[in-house]
Structure 1
Amino acid sequence: MPQAPGPLSADTPLLEVLRTPAGDEVLRRLAPSVVESPLLHTYQNHPVGLVLATEEGLGEEVRRQVLHELEVLDPAAAADTAPAPAPAAPSRTYEGADVAPGSAAVSAPAEVEVHQRFEVELRGPSHGNPYTDVELTARFSGPDGGSRDVLGFYDGDGRYLVRFLPGEAGHWRFETTSNARSLDGVTGELEARQGAGRGPVRVADQYHFRYADGSRYLPIGTTCYAWTHQDEELQELTLRTLADAPFTKLRMCLFPKSYTFNTNEPARYPFAREQDGGWDPTRFDPAWWAHLERRIDQLDELGIEADLILFHAYDRWGFSTMDAATDDRYVRYAVARLSAFRGVWWSLANEFDLLHTKTEDDWERWAGIIGRWDASDHLRSIHNCRDVYDQSRPWITHVSMQRTDVYRTAENTTEWRAAWGKPVVVDECAYEGDIDQGWGNITGEEMVRRCWEGALRGGYVGHGETYLHPDEVLWWAKGGELHGTSPDRIAFLTSIVEQVPGGVLEPLPGSWDAVSAGVPGEHQLVYFGNHRPRFRRFFLDPATTWDVDVIDTWGMTVETVPGPRSGRFTVDLPGRPYVAVRLRARQRADAG
């Protein structure tokens, strides 16, 4: 976590000014164009004086006033502010005594398949503001004798919904609890029958993943932060592209994004719009959420997990600086609506450390809300920019990492696995592309190399693409079409991993100049990355004979070396980079 800032001056990096609550307030009040600029995060490491001096449309008098107010601040004292009072609990008299308990009209199916979303609709009151005035929960009691609690939510027009994802076959009962009398004490039943659903993804074998039904899951990730905030035609194009791509996980933001190449205005927002064009933080827009849900379902139909990012700092609307009560209400509403979707993951933040108004207590509180009310127990993570969150926290199911070094990225997988003992998913290793930022202009070859490097170190490295486009439709933000050379090669890597006994790679002791992974005594991959040997000597137990393959990871070819090998032997190689050698124990091949 960042330390308390020192005195501010023209030489203070803009980032440090923004991390100081009083400094952030000065800039937002006197120079809002700086804070709201889509280029903010590209120049935030420059001195604030230089940023002000080069900001177009900012008069000299304003520049002097900003610097003067920053210089006289006491950052340490300014940061010590009292927390906002907690909102009042919903009234128990929201509905009068003349309303019979449990009298709401109820609609729900009699049965669903296991791992299929079950939804109860209740017709109830709409006076006042049901988003804040009404609390609704339900307890589902299952065939195992246990129970799961879920949040209900208001969906507009007097319609309340309760959603649940049954995890086992059998007879279930539910009962609601609410401060609204008509919604309180509603009971019902459902029969969950065995079906073909795989269920949510879980951590398995400590460093890997399986679906709830036990089948193996490989997270082949990509990023389209704001794809659901684009026009409908572009969203449909994104889905068609994903249908032909190898990806099984998609990182995406709930809130819209304001950043370079992300300057368009979305059609709708998670919150209801007011007449003046602003948004009402006490009311949600059910149509926006229904649209998001449709897209999540469409991803699920493609076999793609929706890795949902709850908060991020790339914002000009104020979603990143909401007060604690609004933040909590938003998180609860998201969990109420989305936790019964099979293919959901929770990412509390993209680059949590850039959200300067949020504290560790905030992140832990939101993790607690998810843990308490997500009866499906979906995967949970939090993503870094510069500062890495304490990944040992019990609520964090897997490590979601961004590169912490310009060059060394996937290579850190070894240390991250050892440090936290959890699956390592490098969600941002940089992006294949050609934009001006170093995080977005690596080659396809380097993207694929990082994926292989991370895979053989026992982790999962995600894809991303940022090629310049005349209409600023860059995959990493808006989706659309893929233009890079890495996706097909990532699919090839996946096919190689799927051929490993057990379907995952575990690191094996290797040489100092090449990573190795597989199954001891059965299956071994050795990857040479940027190196380009013309041959390689192997020293193995002579009791085992091996079939040897030379794999061109860029050319996507597998060439089997003639004859089995054992003991001490040499394998000829093509003398170019991105080559791997695969050793398959002959006795296993014969048995198959």
Structure 2
Amino acid sequence: MTEQSSRWDVFEFSANGPTEGNPYLEVSFAATFSLDNRQVTVPGFYDGEGVYKVRFCPDTEGEWSFATTSSAKPLAGLKGRLSVGPARANVNGPVRVRNQFHFAHADGKPYLPFGTTCYAWTHQPEALQEQTLKTLAESPFNKIRMGVFPKDYIYNTNEPLYDVYEKRADGSHDMDRPNFECFRHFETQIGRLMDMGIEADIILFHPYDRWGYCTMTEEQDFRYLRYIVARIAAYRNVWWSLANEYDFLLDTKPMERWDRFFHIIEEGDPLRHPKSIHNGDVDKNYDHRKPWVDHVCIQNWDVKKTLAWREASGKPVINDEPEYEGNIAKEWGNISGHELVNRYWLTLCRGGYIGHGETFLDDADELWWAKGGVLRGEAVSRIAFLRKIFEEDAANGLTPLMERGSTFKRVSAVADGEVRYIYFSEHQPVEWALGLPEKDGDYEIDLIDVWNMTVSPLEKAALPKVHPQRITGGSHITNQFAAAFGLKLPGRPFLAVRIRPRRKH
């Protein structure tokens, strides 16, 4: 019998095998999928009660065959066939790096990450999880950072819905016996996000722990990683975040182990989902230049450094935690919605990407950043507005503009092909020319109020006045703007300008 699937969907093959002993430790299982002269080997996993599974995400249409290998005879040499048809509507494939600093789906559709953080949402009561999914469906977010393990931290001290590993009689956790129900629930929620078109940025380790997960042995760490990769790598919406604040775990997981973690993921992930790792201390960034890292993943409030991070790494930059909109006592969790929106525009207009989080005090301790639930802040609607603007003309990615050989330092300016964006942030000029097109033409020029969410047409104006300027050596430059025209502006901060060739209707 030939099984049926579609390109970039999850195909699952199950078989019954041994139950004695501890199959998680003792039984290996995998399958090799073949199409013409191509072979893809996919690790399998034990799912409890004698059931072994392999999950495969076919990236190519055609008539595939597969055969299993295993250390257990009943699971070895099983064969099957898989007919893979075209991708279903609105399925664009996994996200990958494109054009060095940007992302796109496997079918080429540009992907601009607009992510949020809900660390332990899958560990909350089911009613709260349903509310989180409902909120996400109505939000502008197309990516969510979420942890495999529960979290022990302020505003997040409740017991998780499921233990990740089984409990012993004394209440401690046996890190050699996974709780299959927990993993099934976790991957179910990843699948629901996938159906909503939301990427799941999976945080594999974090330091906020009272259950013993962050002090597993090296062997247990490696086994856990292989297991979670085998279970969820076939979901097209998965990203890998090795850790939230890895540097706070260096006492139990030395740097060479983090490097090995990346390699283990690569070995078990045929789709090569995006991989990165996230710092705690702003001075302890992982070396994202290492070849196994796909993009920069950091937390840092000084978003004007985005240009420097791009130049240092040569990779896409996602600032997951530029601080959160909220009102808690922690300094990273009480900036205004206005300031978060400002940091969004600053980051995007310097060629990077940025994440959202919300930390408003709540009587039930249901803070979005920790548990999900509902969104209360003012930034969300402005992020939706921003996302619509940038996705409208998305093509190759936002590239920082250059002026006399250097990037813009004070104002922020980027271009995607012939479309330019200039963001003034705290600056409030009444006339402007820097970064405008050097050749005159028929342009649509819009003034964008990033907080009031308005887009108003602008007309070309004369260039601002200039005066010769003395430079080193005693010579002079004219200081003439290279632009073909200038603009008259309202003289208010937190405005942006978009310039693009006029559309033909």
State if a TM-score over 0.5 links the two structures.
yes
Cα deviations across residues 104-138 of structure 1 (Å, max 9, x unaligned)? xxxx9711001111111101110111111111111
Q: CA deviation at 1:491?
A: 1.1
Could you say which residue in structure 1 is the equivalent of 2:180?
Answer: 286
How many pairs align? Answer: 476
Determine helix, strand or coil for the equivalent of 1:259. Answer: coil
TM-score (normalised: structure 1): 0.78
1:150-299 matched pairs, under 5 angstroms: 150-196=42-88, 197-299=91-193
Could you say which residue in structure 1 is the equivalent of 2:468?
Answer: none
1:150·1:164 contact (CA, 8 Å) conserved in 2?
yes
Q: CA deviation at 1:501?
A: 5.4
Picking from 517, 529, 538, the partner of 2:425 is 529
Q: CA deviation at 1:388?
A: 0.8
User: Following the alignment from structure 2 to structure 1, what is the Cα–Cα distance between the partners of residues 205 and 401?
Assistant: 38
Picking from 85, 91, 114, the partner of 2:7 is 114
Cα deviations across residues 6-50 of structure 1 (Å, max 9, x unaligned)? xxxxxxxxxxxxxxxxxxxxxxxxxxxxxxxxxxxxxxxxxxxxx
Determine helix, strand or coil for the equivalent of 2:69. Answer: strand
Determine helix, strand or coil for the equivalent of 1:451. Answer: helix
Cα deviations across residues 200-226 of structure 1 (Å, max 9, x unaligned)? 111111111111111111100100000
Residue identity matched to 1:146: R
Cα deviations across residues 456-514 of structure 1 (Å, max 9, x unaligned)? 11111111111111111111010000000111111111111123351632111255531
Picking from 275, 291, 295, the partner of 1:398 is 295
Q: CA deviation at 1:416?
A: 1.1
User: Following the alignment from structure 2 to structure 1, what is the Cα–Cα distance between the partners of residues 289 and 460?
Assistant: 48
Matched, 1:357 2:273: no
1:445-524 matched pairs, under 5 angstroms: 445-500=338-393, 502=395, 504-509=397-402, 512-519=409-416, 522-524=418-420
User: Following the alignment from structure 2 to structure 1, what is the Cα–Cα distance between the partners of residues 82 and 462?
Assistant: 60
Could you say which residue in structure 1 is the equivalent of 2:477?
Answer: none
Picking from 400, 413, 416, the partner of 2:306 is 413
Q: CA deviation at 1:441?
A: 0.7
Cα distance, 1:211–1:501 mapped onto 2, change above 3 Å: closer
User: Following the alignment from structure 1 to structure 2, what is the Cα–Cα distance between the partners of residues 366 and 292?
Assistant: 21
2:349·2:412 contact (CA, 8 Å) conserved in 1?
yes
Residue identity matched to 1:160: Y
Matched, 1:574 2:490: yes
Q: Which has the larger strand fraction? A: 2
Cα distance, 1:199–1:463 mapped onto 2, change above 3 Å: same
Matched, 1:557 2:454: yes
Q: CA deviation at 1:389?
A: 0.7
Picking from 338, 349, 366, the partner of 2:261 is 366
2:461·2:488 contact (CA, 8 Å) conserved in 1?
no
User: Following the alignment from structure 1 to structure 2, what is the Cα–Cα distance between the partners of residues 200 and 340?
Assistant: 10
Cα distance, 1:500–1:263 mapped onto 2, change above 3 Å: same
2:440·2:485 contact (CA, 8 Å) conserved in 1?
no
User: Following the alignment from structure 1 to structure 2, what is the Cα–Cα distance between the partners of residues 118 and 501?
Assistant: 32
Out of 326-335 and 506-515, give the one that drifted further: 506-515
1:498·1:504 contact (CA, 8 Å) conserved in 2?
no
Q: CA deviation at 1:161?
A: 0.5
Could you say which residue in structure 2 is the equivalent of 1:46?
Answer: none
- The answer for unaligned runs of 5 or more in structure 2 is 464-482
Cα distance, 1:109–1:416 mapped onto 2, change above 3 Å: farther
Determine helix, strand or coil for the equivalent of 1:450. Answer: helix
User: Following the alignment from structure 2 to structure 1, what is the Cα–Cα distance between the partners of residues 50 and 492?
Assistant: 66
The alignment-based identity, stated in percent, is 46
1:547·1:563 contact (CA, 8 Å) conserved in 2?
no
User: Following the alignment from structure 2 to structure 1, what is the Cα–Cα distance between the partners of residues 226 and 114?
Assistant: 29
Determine helix, strand or coil for the equivalent of 2:264. Answer: helix
Q: CA deviation at 1:569?
A: 4.3
Determine helix, strand or coil for the equivalent of 1:110. Answer: strand
Out of 192-201 and 526-535, give the one that drifted further: 526-535
Cα deviations across residues 250-276 of structure 1 (Å, max 9, x unaligned)? 000100000111111113122122233
Picking from 378, 383, 388, the partner of 2:285 is 388
Could you say which residue in structure 2 is the equivalent of 1:9?
Answer: none
User: Following the alignment from structure 1 to structure 2, what is the Cα–Cα distance between the partners of residues 263 and 553?
Assistant: 37
Cα distance, 1:396–1:542 mapped onto 2, change above 3 Å: closer
- The answer for unaligned runs of 5 or more in structure 1 is 1-107
Q: CA deviation at 1:546?
A: 3.0
Cα deviations across residues 406-427 of structure 1 (Å, max 9, x unaligned)? x52x211111111111111111
Determine helix, strand or coil for the equivalent of 1:238. Answer: helix
Cα deviations across residues 118-168 of structure 1 (Å, max 9, x unaligned)? 11110111011111111111111123x221111111111111101111110
Determine helix, strand or coil for the equivalent of 1:247. Answer: coil
Residue identity matched to 1:358: K
TM-score (normalised: structure 2): 0.91
2:176·2:220 contact (CA, 8 Å) conserved in 1?
yes
Residue identity matched to 1:367: F
Picking from 490, 500, 503, the partner of 1:584 is 500
Cα distance, 1:125–1:540 mapped onto 2, change above 3 Å: closer
Picking from 355, 364, 375, the partner of 2:270 is 375
User: Following the alignment from structure 2 to structure 1, what is the Cα–Cα distance between the partners of residues 442 and 416?
Assistant: 15
User: Following the alignment from structure 2 to structure 1, what is the Cα–Cα distance between the partners of residues 296 and 121?
Assistant: 24
Matched, 1:326 2:220: yes
Higher relative contact order (CA 8 A, sep 6+): 2
Out of 494-503 and 259-268, give the one that drifted further: 494-503
Q: CA deviation at 1:573?
A: 2.6
Determine helix, strand or coil for the equivalent of 2:262. Answer: helix
Picking from 322, 334, 345, the partner of 1:429 is 322
User: Following the alignment from structure 2 to structure 1, what is the Cα–Cα distance between the partners of residues 254 and 379?
Assistant: 37
Q: CA deviation at 1:339?
A: 0.6
